[in-house]
Structure 1
Amino acid sequence: MPQYEKADIERRMNGAVEALKSDLSGLRTGRANTSLLDPVVCEVYGAMMPISQVATVSAPEARMLSVQVWDKSNVSAVEKGISKANLGLNPMTDGQTIRLPMPDLNEERRKELAKIAGEYGEKAKIAIRNVRRDANESLKGDEKKKEISEDDRKRLETQVQDLTDKYVEETDAAVEKKIQEILTQ
């Protein structure tokens, strides 16, 4: 039975693109975006937890995030987690609410964020190429075992390359869009 499955290859390549989009959404532009705090964790109840499990994050204004902590005893832990995340945010606590005004981005920071976006894109492309390599090795193995012919292998490798090109293009488009957003907002 041949190892090659187009649906699995597409799923894995699409997973790399989705992970990239998730990473890019965490890059801060000038606007408040609740996904900015997705990677932030804080130590509560003796464990490291994402903020989303101890508070509600909202964007009441274009340049302000609001974190409504559910348990009053966790406010300082959440504030500490936000500070440790190095997001360039200055938490202001008011009771159980932590306000996070979005500072203006200077030119240097914009270029730095654009470079990071490019690095994220490169990682996604490497992941996509690794899927291609695995698929091609699997096809060569199938051919060696006489499960598929050489012509079938070449035809399927072309399909794998087409999928690779499609997802690399999607990656480039997502990165380019984010870089434009970073440089213009």
Structure 2
Amino acid sequence: MSHPLLTDAQTRMKKTVDHTLHEFSTIHTGKASPSMVEGIMVEAYGGTQQLKACAAITTPDARMIQVQPWDKGLLRAIEKALQQANIGVNPVVDGNLIRLPFPDLSKERRLEFVKTAHRLAEEGRVHVRNVRRDVLEQVKKAKLPEDETKRLEKEIQAATDKAIKDIETHLGHKEKELTSH
């Protein structure tokens, strides 16, 4: 049976890995992806909502994101939100939809994104280690029998190693995606 402290550590580490992967998905690789814009906030109906809640977002090809508002009246608000999001692409209104054409990335830009991916991975690793530290402190405070404490410490270290390895693996994929044309 798994100890609640170990379960807590594993859950928090998994959340960190998932968050890091989500951050990776927002790095522009020159390949258009709906995840690059779906979280952009749009002023609509007297409030704000995510773009994915008020439009269909598709990628007809690797260099294009197409945004089709559910409500044609939101076309200008969505265009404005996309311009302000500063994603390096100018929205082009075409009838009832907006196209976002992505240019090829320069080598310099790709290397900048690789650096960003490394920074995000390091933030993820630091967070995983912080979770390990917090949970190990809780294990000490729990004053468990020595053999159980040692077993828990070992399992928490194994969870830490796995989470960091997951981040490294995904960083490798992201780097490859960014540097291969």
Question: 2: distance between equivalents of 1:123 and 1:30?
Answer: 24
Question: 2: distance between equivalents of 1:40 and 1:61?
Answer: 21
Name the structure 2 match of 1:167: 163
Mark the runs of 5 or more structure 1 residues left unpaired by the alignment: none
Question: 1: distance between equivalents of 2:124 and 2:70?
Answer: 36
Q: How many residues end up aligned between the 2 structures?
A: 179
Question: 1: distance between equivalents of 2:41 and 2:118?
Answer: 25
Name the structure 2 match of 1:6: 6
The question of whether the paired residues in 2 share the 8 Å contact of 1:4 and 1:135 is answered with no
TM-score normalised by L of structure 1: 0.91
Question: 1: distance between equivalents of 2:63 and 2:83?
Answer: 18
Which secondary structure state, in structure 2, belongs to the residue aligned with residue 65 of structure 1? strand
Name the structure 2 match of 1:29: 29
Choose from 155, 174, 180 the match for 2:176. Answer: 180
Runs ≥4 residues deviating over 4 A:
none
The question of whether the paired residues in 2 share the 8 Å contact of 1:70 and 1:96 is answered with no
CA shift for structure 1 position 113: 0.8
CA shift for structure 1 position 152: 2.1
Question: 2: distance between equivalents of 1:48 and 1:176?
Answer: 36
Which secondary structure state, in structure 2, belongs to the residue aligned with residue 5 of structure 1? helix
CA shift for structure 1 position 30: 1.7
Mark the runs of 5 or more structure 2 residues left unpaired by the alignment: none
Deviation track 1:30-51 (CA, whole Å, cap 9, x = no partner) reads 2111111133111112222110
Question: 2: distance between equivalents of 1:125 and 1:179?
Answer: 17
Question: 1: distance between equivalents of 2:168 and 2:93?
Answer: 39
The question of whether the paired residues in 1 share the 8 Å contact of 2:40 and 2:85 is answered with yes
Name the structure 2 match of 1:71: 71
CA shift for structure 1 position 96: 1.9
Equivalent residues in 2 for 1:71-110 (5 A)?
Answer: 71-110=71-110
Percent identity at matched positions? 37
The question of whether the paired residues in 1 share the 8 Å contact of 2:38 and 2:57 is answered with no
Question: 1: distance between equivalents of 2:5 and 2:96?
Answer: 51
RMSD: 1.4
CA shift for structure 1 position 8: 2.3
Alignment of 1:57 with 2:57, yes or no, is yes
Which has the larger displacement, 171-180 or 40-49?
40-49
Which has the larger displacement, 75-84 or 50-59?
75-84
Name the structure 1 match of 2:150: 154
Question: 2: distance between equivalents of 1:127 and 1:44?
Answer: 36
Question: 1: distance between equivalents of 2:78 and 2:120?
Answer: 27
Name the structure 1 match of 2:137: 137
Question: 1: distance between equivalents of 2:111 and 2:69?
Answer: 33
